[in-house]
Amino acid sequence: MALRTVVSGDVALAFLGESIPAIGPRFDDRGEALKIACQYIERIGNISGGSQRTPFQIILSRQEDGRYSLAVADGSCQTVSRLNNLDELLVRRFRKGLKKRLFILTCFVEGVDGMECLVLTEGLGAVFYAPSTMGI
C-alpha cells in the first residue's frame, strides 16, 4: 500500500485517516519490521498491564548534533521506544499533527510501491492519546 511518507534517517512519519500521525522506525527488511512492531506492542502491554489508562509521556530532546530524539515512556520513565536522529522538519510536522492529541507508534518498511505502514497493512501499532502536547 503506497503512502505519502516523510523520512528522516531511519524514522518515517505518515498521516493516516483524519491527519493522525503515525511515526516509527523505517526498515528495508519486512521480517525485521514485523518483529520490532510486535515487540513494541508486547512491551507496551507488559508495562500497562493490559490497562488502557496507563499514562505515557512523549519526551522530545535535542541531540548534540542538532537533531532530535523522541522517546515514549511510561509514568515511571521506563522507555517503551526511542526514535533517534529526527530532523527539525519531521519534528515540526509531528507536532503539527498532534492537533487531535493522538499518534500511532508503528514501523514502516520499504515496499514495492513505496513506504508501507504496518499499522495499515498488518494492524501492528500502538495508539497513544497525548492530552498535554504543549511540551513537545
Give residue limits of the domains in the chain.
Answer: 55-100
- Give the global pTM: 0.80
Q: Is residue 22 left, alpha or beta, with left meaning phi > 0 and alpha meaning psi from -120 to 50?
A: beta
Contact call for residues 106 and 118 (beta carbons, < 8 A): yes
pLDDT at 133: 47
How confident is the model at residue 129, as a pLDDT? 75
- Is residue 68 within 8 Å of 61, Cβ to Cβ? yes
pLDDT tens for the chain, 136 residues long, are: 457 888 888 899 999 887 889 999 999 999 999 999 998 888 777 766 655 566 677 788 899 999 998 888 776 677 777 888 889 988 888 888 888 778 899 999 988 778 899 999 999 988 887 665 444 4
**pLDDT (0 to 100) of residue 49:** 63
Alpha carbon dihedral 132, 91, 33, 27, in 10-degree steps, equals 180
The reported pLDDT for the residue numbered 29 is 93
52 by DSSP, 3-state: which? coil
Pairwise CA distance, residues 92 & 112, whole Å? 28
